[in-house]
């Protein structure tokens, strides 16, 4: 690309001189419609419980969830993503709570659809928030069993869609789960339920605050449950951060199996992946600004090291510049307020 022009005839600073001119020539724009707000659900009634690892983020009970998202709806945020907190005494090794049509996810979906019928609902399809071992699938002989897990995920996704979830979002990283879930949904006549695949989800230390939010940090020690000796962390199914070409293979497979949208996770450390995915496939592409990214910014803000609004908006614009159609971010409401009201 030949940009041409030499100084002093060409002065690039001219178009930066006035605020109106800077806005006029901006190459990318951020709007509330680009934001998806992840929210956490909890048991009980009248519950609004701060998440210690994520300043400004609460777990809310189902009776409060419609009120909780009302401002987001009024600000033009198009969708929320739901994640349940399951106490350890309600978990088991196979995550059977995920298949209860009266679980938190399903009850919250029904409540939100009744109160805000035009709000998009995205539901997490995985077993980590329901299992005692905290893995995204069922463990057999010290290894997450791919086929057994996919079978459960299909039933989980179907129950969620029947409860009102518009977009099922498999975050488990099992092979072949997109095609199986699509077939299961279609078999039940749920042809309008979309699939947002966590297509390139990397093994990452940036998920730690999220695991506090959903209760996985409180799992029983190995001495009180079956020891998953060969497994340890999630590196046998989440991607190696060293790999980029592999992400394109993951995305290509999920598209071939019927994914309507794809996601890269985490966000900021993987903007190169976002860029490659969007350029290669042109499919609606999203990124998740995960809990660790959010909490790092908030911790620096609390210490006076960063300005909240500038750091927040700068990070979100990075996603748009990389090619994201939208961003899952805990900053969604704060950013939408700023975009709407200044």
Catalytic residues: 201, 265
Burial 47-70 (b: 16+ CB within 10 A, else e): beeebebbbbbbbbbbebbbebbe
Q: Which residues contact 259 (CB under 8 A, 6 or more apart)?
A: 178, 195, 196, 197, 199, 283
Work out whether the CA dihedral 93, 95, 100, 105 comes out positive or negative.
positive
Residues 6+ apart with CB under 8 A from 303: none
Q: 85, 213 in Cβ contact below 8 A?
A: yes
Taking the mean position of all CA atoms in its chain, how far away is CA 193? 17
Q: How far is CA 262 from the centre of its chain?
A: 11
- Distance in angstroms (rounded) separating the CA atoms of residues 342 and 334: 11
Opening angle at CA 86, ends 80 and 91, nearest 5: 140
CB count within 10 Å of CB 241 equals: 15
d(CA 158, CA 166): 11
DSSP collapsed to 3 states, 311-333: HHHHHHHHHHHHCCCEEEECCHH
Taken in order 173, 187, 287, 271, is the CA torsion positive or negative?
positive
- Backbone φ and ψ for 25, nearest 5 degrees, come out as -100, 10
């Amino acid at each position: 690309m030949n940009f041409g022009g030499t100084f002093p005839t060409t002065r690039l600073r001219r178009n930066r001189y006035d605020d109106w001119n800077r806005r006029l020539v901006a190459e990318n724009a951020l709007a509330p419609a680009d934001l998806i707000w992840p929210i956490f659900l909890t048991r009980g009634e009248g519950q609004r419980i701060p998440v210690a690892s994520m300043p400004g983020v609460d777990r809310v009970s189902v009776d409060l969830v419609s009120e909780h998202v009302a401002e987001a709806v009024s600000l033009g945020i198009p969708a929320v993503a739901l994640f349940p907190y399951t106490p350890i005494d309600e978990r088991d090794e196979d995550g059977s709570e995920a298949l209860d049509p009266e679980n938190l996810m399903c009850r919250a979906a029904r409540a939100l659809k009744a109160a805000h019928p035009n709000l998009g609902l995205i539901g997490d399809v995985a077993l980590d928030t329901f299992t005692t071992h905290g893995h995204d699938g069922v463990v057999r002989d010290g290894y997450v069993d791919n086929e057994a897990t996919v079978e459960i995920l299909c039933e989980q996704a179907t129950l969620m869609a029947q409860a009102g979830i518009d977009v099922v979002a498999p975050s488990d990283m099992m092979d072949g789960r997109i095609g199986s879930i699509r077939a299961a949904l279609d078999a039940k006549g749920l042809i309008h339920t979309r699939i947002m695949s966590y297509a390139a989800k990397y093994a990452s230390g940036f998920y730690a605050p999220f695991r506090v939010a959903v209760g996985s940090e409180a799992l029983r020690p190995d001495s009180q449950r079956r020891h998953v000796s060969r497994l340890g962390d999630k590196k046998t199914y989440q991607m190696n951060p060293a790999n980029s070409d592999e992400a394109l293979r993951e995305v290509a497979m999920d598209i071939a199996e019927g994914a309507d949208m794809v996601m890269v996770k985490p966000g900021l450390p993987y903007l190169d992946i976002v860029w490659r995915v969007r350029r290669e496939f042109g499919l609606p592409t999203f990124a998740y600004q995960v809990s660790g990214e959010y909490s790092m910014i908030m911790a620096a803000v609390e210490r006076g090291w960063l300005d909240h609004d500038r750091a927040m908006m700068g990070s979100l614009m990075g996603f748009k510049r990389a090619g994201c159609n939208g961003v899952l971010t805990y900053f969604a409401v704060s950013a939408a307020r700023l975009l709407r009201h200044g």
